Structure 1
């Protein structure tokens, strides 16, 4: 039995809607990804990240407390890490309101909204 590697279609297979990433686009985890699938996986990687994104898609904006209440099994450290990850990826923006006590609201960006079909497909696949 031969092993087919990911990203390489068998000889004679028809071209599908997804293009192959050249091997040069596949980089070690210590570098910035260049393959579009890898870029998406980096933005959504980690346990809980898609569920945090799902909450933003449901409400467009949220405070840390609202997210914590919506995902009670998620630890504070992991939620903080996921919000930082989604902020670095440009999926959400962090807005701090001046005053005391300081208030922080996270807002879904256009780049984040563009992930809705991805999350919807994950929902549909998981429901099937």
Structure 2
């Protein structure tokens, strides 16, 4: 895992330093939207991330405060990954990515988009609340 260094004082550049690769955002999306929480869950995603990239991105996301990891209560050799408050702040960005992607990829998933079109703010709050409830469950 490479160390992330800030390249400039530009907020867009700073954001891309941490989230500029597709895999990091897809892992966050998988936890946020699709309730995937384990290494195996992420490997089952349609995008087919390789195991070495997945391990690297999970470590980087944890190191930089986007996710936490804990041992499963049911199975001691299973690690559960969960989003942090820092990731909850990404919900509006992920939702905008969904809207933009659906507009230019009409063959993509449309159910979430239809819900977003009805009430975007409600959807943002729904996913942020879900993340925050999980945070409270860890305490």
Normalised by the size of structure 1, how large is the TM-score? 0.64
Matches within 5 A, 1:41-60: 41-59=16-34
Distance 1:122 1:99 in 2: 35
Structure 1 moving runs of 4+ over 6 Å: none
Q: CA RMSD in A?
A: 2.6
Structure 1 unaligned residues grouped into runs of 5+? 1-28
Distance 1:126 1:84 in 2: 27
Q: How far is 1:37 from its partner? A: 2.1
Q: 1:37 to 1:94 in 2, by over 3 A?
A: same
Distance 1:118 1:37 in 2: 13
Q: Residue 52 of structure 2 aligns with which residue?
A: 77
Q: Residue 126 of structure 1 aligns with which residue?
A: 101
Q: Which has the larger radius of gyration?
A: 1
**Deviation digits for residues 49-98 of structure 1 (CA, Å, limit 9, x no counterpart):** 21111101115560111111124611111111111121122110111358
- Length, aligned pairs only: 100
Q: Residue 31 of structure 1 aligns with which residue?
A: 5
Tell me which protein shows more strand as a share of its residues.
Answer: 1
